[in-house]
Amino acid sequence: MNERYDFKEIEAKWQARWAAENLYKTPDFSDRPKYYCLEMFPYPSGKLHMGHVRNYSIGDVVARFKTMQGYHVLHPMGWDAFGLPAENAAIKHGNVHPADWTMDNIRTMRAQLKQLGISYDWDREVATCHPGYYKWTQWLFLQLYHKGLAYKKKAAVNWCPSCATVLANEQVKEGACERCKTPVEKRELEQWFFKITAYAERLLKDLELLKGWPEKVKIMQENWIGRSEGAEIRFKVADMDEEIVVFTTRPDTVFGVTYMVLAPEHPLVEKLVEGKPQSEAVRDFVRRVRNLNEIARTATDVEKEGLFTGAYCINPLNGERVPILVANYVLLEYGTGAVMGVPAHDQRDFEFARKYNLPIRVVIQPPGEELDPQTMTEAYAGDGVMVNSGQFNGLSKDEGIRAVIAYLEEKGLGRGQVNYRLRDWLISRQRYWGAPIPIIYCDKCGIVPVPEEDLPVLLPRDVEFKPTGQSPLADCPEFVNTTCPRCGGLARRETDTMDTFMCSSWYYYRYTSPREDKHPWDRARVDYWLPVDQYIGGVEHAILHLLYSRFFTKVLYDLGLVGIQEPFTNLLTQGMVLKDGAKMSKSRGNVVSPEEIVAKYGADTARLFILFAAPPERDLEWSDQGVEGCYRFLNRVWRLVASVAGGLLEAPPKPAGKLVGVNRQMHRLIHLTIKKVTEDIGNRFNFNTAVSAIMELVNALYQYKEVPETDRDPAVLREGIEHLLILLAPFAPHITEELWEATGHRESIHKQPWPAYDPEAIVEDEITIVVQINGRVRERVLVPAGITPAQMQEVVLAQPRVQKLVEGKQIVKVIPVPGKLVNIVVK
């Protein structure tokens, strides 16, 4: 065999052979237990970046490992292929069509994935921009529509002026567009929504089922859903036939209400100020606040500002007249857009009241303390006893909450209420490169869904991509003009397309039957493969994609289309790939391209480094020298195996009889390594320590090779080399396959069963135990392995060195830890 490790030749050779032999093709069903290993599919942005390489290397180790363990593994790949960058490229360069741009990128990135040697079943590849796929995205939209879960409404929505489209709440980070960081604006638009809020409680509750998800992701979703319990209370407006409904988590403090605040956009504001001397000032204020963008509007450090409307409302519990104000700190979108002001027991109300000299009334007295509104420096939100609250005096906070709610319900003044921060999912996008929303508007019949047999509603190819703020499809008469499916009259198509998160909310079902054309998927196959056993991807999708996918799955369950309630049993969120302590980015100029690394060192080195440099959840610091180290290691493996490849298979596959000395030690290490690598991959996904165990095995095999041939057992050497290759195979599939062949094996290493360690092999006759005196290591003793704690103690105390050290001291206690150490406590 070749003296040199020629990765270029080897990797090309095996990639071609694997493809020719369909090594990674997955039959639809099998008697073996199934395992669905899925990595988040990429947006085809151009070329792979290191984050992709990390994601897919991790997934590949898991898929290969599970396959070798005997599972029937589904490991597919596809493309989240609709989206803005394609369209932006078309706008920028003029002559490139988003479809062509996308397909070019897919070709490039598919080739790159193949170069990495990832074990995908490419026959199952899907692309969300393919009509055969988005037909079913549209079909699913219709199912939601028929179920009343897709609806159109006019609302103040997040508008990104740079992307020239609306965004879902989830796509707004710190008041700015998640994609381009442009501050978002509010626009009143009529848009399509999915009623995800109808599933808020289930999405929250079922987080408990997700035992295999990181706590962090579950907490983020929990916070995002933002459940809070309280009450809705109705305040009558004085001298007017109107009422203001507030949501509060503290109905026990209603007697402490000293004012009422409305959001500037609250629909009642105009009515309240009409004809009042305050009207102009209030209108000015509302206008000013509305013109601010989200960042300026919602930053916490913004000074609270408010104005009196001139109107009053009536506290339903004590009949008091309280002034109604408008203020910038009240949000229309949350609760009812109105807040009762209880300065004594809410910090925001407290600050606001101090600023505007509004009265502060204590209605909860903390234990062992007397709150005085004059001297208070902050609101008291804790538990205590109700005071100044009429019939409720003397109750605790929690008793008060229950009692007030009961009273409100009895008198018809309000009711207990659960509120969520989660809003409905806005799915309309004023862009071209997405799945058209399958809806037709007819002057006679109104909103008419496209009949299922007319799907897909195809995207027209020739469209002008001007970013005008409305969908480019609106300027395409051939697309817009149609006939009403109901009355046959002239009608217009919906021109907005769907949020691409809709496309990615169901792709993991499609992989099971990617070319099915009568249904979105084959039910038997979905029932067989789903849920995904292991999902792997970046934590940036903790809310967006993962929440939407959970929502979709629950809807599909309710529609009877799937039999599962949660799509992803186990989730692994991989850390970022950093260079010089920062995320790789073009603007920072610290990008390392996978292409260059693969060209210089090969795919096996690239994969190995990425898996070795850090555990998968943690951020990974890129190191060129670290890559060199992994390359050196593979060369070392190459030379080791090359030096013994010749007659390796002439030895028996495993040693027979009782082994002694170096042979026994080597045999033992082989099995310890099998144990460690199996546990590190299988139980904890600690690939870095698995690799280091394999490195130790290689170091030991080098030593063993130097042992004179007369003292060496060729069966042990064979066992060591073969297991080294098998254990390394999921990490470095090409070099191990080549060496496997070079040592005389006929069948692919990737079809070999994962080895089990022999418990007999790892037992020891003698062990070294540590002797501590007052917790400090003072001696080591070699003892028989089966020694009892009492014997351990005896042996240790008999050691001359121990006797010397405890001489003249009193032994207070001796603690033997079986098989490990003995600690002697002396005074």
Partner RNA sequence: GCGGGCGUGGCGGAAUGGCAGACGCGCCGGACUUAGGAUCCGGUGGGGCAACCCGUGGGAGUUCAAGUCUCCCCGCCCGCACCA
Q: What is the 3-state secondary structure (H, E, C) of 444-497?
A: CCEEEECCHHHCCCCCCCCCCCCCCCCCHHHHCHHHHEEECCCCCCEEEECCCE
Contact 36, 534 (CB under 8 A): yes
Q: Quote the tokens at residue 530.
A: 């789903």
Residue 785 touching RNA (CB under 7 A): no
Closer by beta carbon to RNA, 133 or else 247 = 247
What is the pattern of x (binds RNA, CB under 7 A) and - over residues 151-180? ----------------------xx------
Residue 290 touching RNA (CB under 7 A): no
Please tell me the distance from the alpha carbon of residue 391 to that of residue 400, in angstroms, as a whole number. Answer: 10
CB of 325 to RNA, least distance (A): 13
Site residue total, RNA (CB under 7 A): 84
CB of 737 to RNA, least distance (A): 22
**Strand positions, DSSP E, 713-802:** 766-773, 776-784
Closer by beta carbon to RNA, 504 or else 573 = 573
- β-pairing, 428-429 with 497-498? antiparallel
Q: How far is CA 685 from CA 63, 69, 219, 365, 571, in A?
A: 12, 15, 22, 52, 11
Of positions 379, 691, 726, 732, contacts RNA by CB under 7 A: 691
Cα-only R_g, the chain: 34
Of positions 153, 446, 563, 702, contacts RNA by CB under 7 A: 702
Residue 639 touching RNA (CB under 7 A): yes
Q: What is the footprint of RNA within residues 102-131 (CB under 7 A)?
A: none
Asked whether the bond before 531 is cis by omega within 30 degrees of 0, the reply is yes
Residue 571 has phi, psi (to 5 degrees) of -125, 130
Residue 483 touching RNA (CB under 7 A): no
Contact 122, 129 (CB under 8 A): no
Closer by beta carbon to RNA, 12 or else 817 = 817
Of positions 92, 746, 751, 776, contacts RNA by CB under 7 A: 776
What is the pattern of x (binds RNA, CB under 7 A) and - over residues 329-358? xxxx-xx-x-xx-----x-x----------
Q: What is the 3-state secondary structure (H, E, C) of 565-628?
A: CCCEEEEEEECCEEECCEECCCCCCCCCCHHHHHHHHCHHHHHHHHHHCCCCCCCEECCHHHHH
Closer by beta carbon to RNA, 5 or else 521 = 5
Closer by beta carbon to RNA, 162 or else 169 = 169
Binding segment toward RNA, per CB under 7 A, in 157-165, 429-437, 626-634, 752-760: 626-634
Q: Quote the tokens at residue 370.
A: 């007397």
Q: What is the footprint of RNA within residues 544-573 (CB under 7 A)?
A: none
Residue 642 touching RNA (CB under 7 A): no
CB of 620 to RNA, least distance (A): 6
Residue 623 touching RNA (CB under 7 A): yes
Binding segment toward RNA, per CB under 7 A, in 205-213, 356-364, 565-573, 615-623: 615-623
Please tell me the distance from the alpha carbon of residue 318 to that of residue 268, in angstroms, as a whole number. Answer: 23
Alpha helices (H) in 653-742, listed in sequence order: 661-682, 687-706, 714-728, 733-742
Please tell me the distance from the alpha carbon of residue 821 to that of residue 815, in angstroms, as a whole number. Answer: 8
* Measured torsion, CA atoms of residues 60, 66, 72, 73, in degrees rounded to the nearest 10: -20
Query: What stretch of H or E contains 402?
Result: helix 397-411
CB of 299 to RNA, least distance (A): 6
Query: What stretch of H or E contains 369?
Result: none
CB of 765 to RNA, least distance (A): 16
What single string gives the DSSP state of each residue in 37-52? EEEPPPP--SS--HHH
Binding segment toward RNA, per CB under 7 A, in 23-31, 97-105, 114-122, 686-694: 686-694
Q: What is the footprint of RNA within residues 259-278 (CB under 7 A)?
A: 263
Q: What is the footprint of RNA within residues 210-249 (CB under 7 A)?
A: 215-216, 219-220, 223-224, 226, 228, 230, 247-249
Please tell me the distance from the alpha carbon of residue 447 to that of residue 96, in angstroms, as a whole number. Answer: 34
Of positions 13, 276, 421, 664, contacts RNA by CB under 7 A: 421
Closer by beta carbon to RNA, 67 or else 736 = 736
Contact 476, 486 (CB under 8 A): no
CB of 699 to RNA, least distance (A): 5
CB of 416 to RNA, least distance (A): 13
Binding segment toward RNA, per CB under 7 A, in 135-143, 328-336, 363-371, 745-753: 328-336
Residue 768 touching RNA (CB under 7 A): yes
Please tell me the distance from the alpha carbon of residue 229 to that of residue 21, in angstroms, as a whole number. Answer: 60
Binding segment toward RNA, per CB under 7 A, in 123-131, 148-156, 237-245, 633-641: 633-641
CB of 635 to RNA, least distance (A): 6
CB of 317 to RNA, least distance (A): 15
